[in-house]
Amino acid sequence: MKRIVFALAAVFVGGAVFAQEAWRHGERVPLWPAGKIPDFQKHQIGAMTDEASTNADWRATHQMPYIEWFEKPANPNGACMILVSGGSYECCCDVGLIKNWRDELTKRGFQCVNLVYRTPRPNGLPVHQSAWEDGQRAVRLVRLNAKKRGFDPEKIGVIGMSAGGHLTCMLATNSQTPSYAKVDAVDDMPCHVNWAIPNAPAYNTLNGSTGAQSPKDGTEIVPSINPCFAFDAKTPPMCFHHGGRDPWSPNGSTLTYRELRKRGIPAELHLYADQPHGAHGFERALEFLRQMNFDGCLSKHEIAQDHRFMPGATIRTEKEMLWPAGKIPDPSPNHAYEPYLVWFVPEKPTTKAVQVIVPGGGYGFCNFNGEGTPVAHYLNAKGMTAVVVMYRCPRPEGKPKHFSAWQDAQRAIRLVRSEAPARGLDPGRIGIMGFSAGGHLTLMTATNAKTPAYAPVDDVDKLSCKVQWACPIYPAYALTDGADAPNKTGGNDDSAVPVPEFSFDADTPPMCFVHGDADVWAAMNSVKCWEKLRMMGVQCDLHTLARRGHCFQFSAAEGTGSFTWMDRIWEFLSAKKLNR
C-alpha cells in the first residue's frame, strides 16, 4: 500500500485576477458582518492563491474572509469537516490539497467546508491571531447551520496543513478562550470542535512561536511546546501527521500529543521517516475517523489477527536449535526449555531480506503462536523470509529480566547471518521485530550491537549481531517510570526517559514503532524512544492508535489502524528500501 501524499499547491499567481476554478463551486458565506471584522488591517485579504491578485483595487474589495460550503455528500454520515489551508499565515496556498480532501471526505459522507482566513500575517499581533479569530467564527457559523445542512452540531471536525495545522491545534485546544469580542448573536454559539487532524503543524514548539522554522528542535535543541495552546476542558481527540525531516519540527507534534496523553484524551501520532514538510498519510486520518466512529461506520465485529494473516498457500518451516549442545550460556533452572528458532520460508521469495521476530510474554513466557506465527505468515505472503525466536523463559534468577532472552536474540541474529548466503538471503539485510517484552528485547538488540551479551561459544559468534532495522511493537519496560511494570505515570512525567540499558550505540538502526494509545505500557515508551533516535539523527517511523490497548492486534475492526498495522511495517521497509 502506498502512502498518499497530497501535493501542496503553493502557487503565487502574480498580478492577474484569476477566475474561480471549476472545482470551487461551493456556496460562499462571509465570516463577519460588514465593517465588523475584528482587528481589521487593510493589507489582509480573504482569498486562496488560485484567485488572489496583487492589484490594489482588487485587494481592497476582497478583505472579507469566508467559509465555502461544498456540495452535500450523496450518502451523508451526519458529520462535518472544516478544511484549513496552510501558507505560513502569509497566504492560503494549499489549493490542490483542499480539493483532494474535499473529494475524499465527501465520498465518505462528510459535509465539507473550506475556511479561507485572513492573510498575510497581521501587524503587531501574534502571527496566528487573525486566522484564529476567523477560525473560531467559522466554527460558530458551521454549528449554527448544522440542522439546516443536515449534520450533527456535535460532529464537527477540522483538518489543516502547516500553518493550517497550527490553526487546527489552536481551534482544538483553545475553544474556551475567546479570540475576539462578540460582534453579534452568532458569537453566542460555542466554537469547540469535536476532533482535529493537524498535518505538519508549524509553530507548535516554543522556538517556532514567532512563525519561523524550527529545524534544530529535537535534534540539537531539546524543544518545549508553544505556550499558545490552552488544552482546555473541550479539547477533543486529535490525529497528528508529520514528516521526520520537516524543518517545522515534528517534535511540535510529539509535544502536543504528550499533552493530550497527560489529560487522557484519545489521540494518534503518525511520524514518517525521511519525509519533508507535507500532508502525509491521509489513510491514517481516515482510519482514525473510523476507530473513533466519527464517520458512523465502526463495526462492532472485530477479527482476530491469526485469522487475517492465515497463509493462502503451504508455508514451509524449519526448526533449529540456537546453541550447540551443552553450550547454552548462563543456564538457569528456571528455564522451561532450550531456546530455538523457526524459519518461515515463503513459497515464492521476492526479497533477500530477513525479518527476525521475538514475541512477547513479559519474559515469563514466549507467545510464539500469538505474536510470532501470524506476522511470519504476513511476511511470507509478501515474499519475505521470517524467523521466529523461542527465547528462554521464564526469567532467570538473580539476573536482569531480559538477560537470557538478550543472549538468545543476539545469537539468533548471528545464526541467521551465518546461514543467509546458503539460503540465497542477504546477510547485510536482517531486521528484528518484537512485541511487548519482545519490543523491549528488540530495543535491547538494536541499541546494543556493540555490547556482547555472552562470551563466544563457536565461530558463529565471530559474526556481528547488528541489525539493519528494528520494529518495536508496543514495547514494554522502555522508560524509567515503568522499567518492570506498567508505566507509573503513563510515561507522561518528563523525568521518565529511555532506560539506561539501551545504549543507543553507533550501530543503532532506523526503527518503526507501533503502539496502542491506551496501552498501560504507555505509548510514551515508543514516543520518547523515537525522540531520542531523532536527536541522534536516526530517522524512524512511529504510529500510535487511538483507544487501543496492549496487544491491540489480537482483534480489530476493519478500516482501523489496528487492523492494517502490519502494512505500516511493510511501508516503512519499502520507503527505506530494506525489503528488496
Q: Which residue has the higher pLDDT, 531 or 1?
A: 531
* pLDDT at residue 222, as a whole number: 97
The angle formed by the CA atoms of residues 368, 548 and 194, to the nearest 5 degrees, is 165
Q: Which residue has the cell 513459497?
A: 347
End-to-end C-alpha distance for the chain, whole angstroms:
16
> Residue 18's pLDDT band (boundaries 50, 70, 90)?
very low
Task: Supply the pTM of this predicted model.
Answer: 0.96
> Residue 13's pLDDT band (boundaries 50, 70, 90)?
very low
Mean pLDDT over the full length of the chain: 95
SS3 566: helix
Q: Which residue has the cell 546461514?
A: 419
Q: State the amino acid at position 51 in one-letter form.
A: E
* pLDDT at residue 273, as a whole number: 98
Contact between 131 and 165 (Cβ < 8 Å): no
Neighbour-count burial for 113-147, b at 16+ CB within 10 Å, e otherwise: bbbbbbbbbbeeebbbbbbbbbbbbbbbbbbebbe
Residue 81 clears pLDDT 70, i.e. is over it: yes
Residue 363 clears pLDDT 50, i.e. is over it: yes
Question: Rounded to the nearest 5°, which phi and psi values hold at 324?
Answer: -60, 150
69-87: average pLDDT: 98
What grid cell was written down for 513?
514503532
Q: What are 493-547's pLDDT values in tens digits? A: 989 999 999 999 999 999 999 999 999 999 999 999 999 999 999 999 999 999 9
Residue 374 clears pLDDT 50, i.e. is over it: yes
Residue 12 clears pLDDT 70, i.e. is over it: no
Residue 279 clears pLDDT 80, i.e. is over it: yes
Q: How big is the chain by its Cα radius of gyration, in Å?
A: 26
Residue 17 clears pLDDT 50, i.e. is over it: no
124-147: average pLDDT: 98
Q: Which domains does the chain carry?
A: 5-291 (3.40.50.1820), 309-538 (3.40.50.1820)
* pLDDT at residue 421, as a whole number: 98
554-572: average pLDDT: 97
Residue 1 clears pLDDT 90, i.e. is over it: no
Residue 174 clears pLDDT 60, i.e. is over it: yes
% of the chain at pLDDT higher than 90: 93
* pLDDT at residue 9, as a whole number: 37
Q: What are 221-269's pLDDT values in tens digits? A: 999 999 999 999 999 999 999 999 999 999 999 999 999 999 999 999 9
Strands 340-345 and 354-358: unpaired
Q: State the amino acid at position 133 in one-letter form.
A: E
Q: Alpha-carbon distance 186 to 38, whole Å?
A: 14
* pLDDT at residue 5, as a whole number: 44
Sign of the C-alpha dihedral, residues 76, 80, 86, 91? positive
> Residue 26's pLDDT band (boundaries 50, 70, 90)?
confident
484-488: average pLDDT: 96
Q: Which residues contact 331 (CB under 8 A, 6 or more apart)?
A: none
% of the chain at pLDDT higher than 70: 96
Q: What are 347-357's pLDDT values in tens digits? A: 999 999 999 99
Q: Which residues contact 343 (CB under 8 A, 6 or more apart)?
A: 317, 318, 319, 320, 385, 386, 387
What grid cell was written down for 114?
473550506
Q: Alpha-carbon distance 445 to 313, whole Å?
A: 32
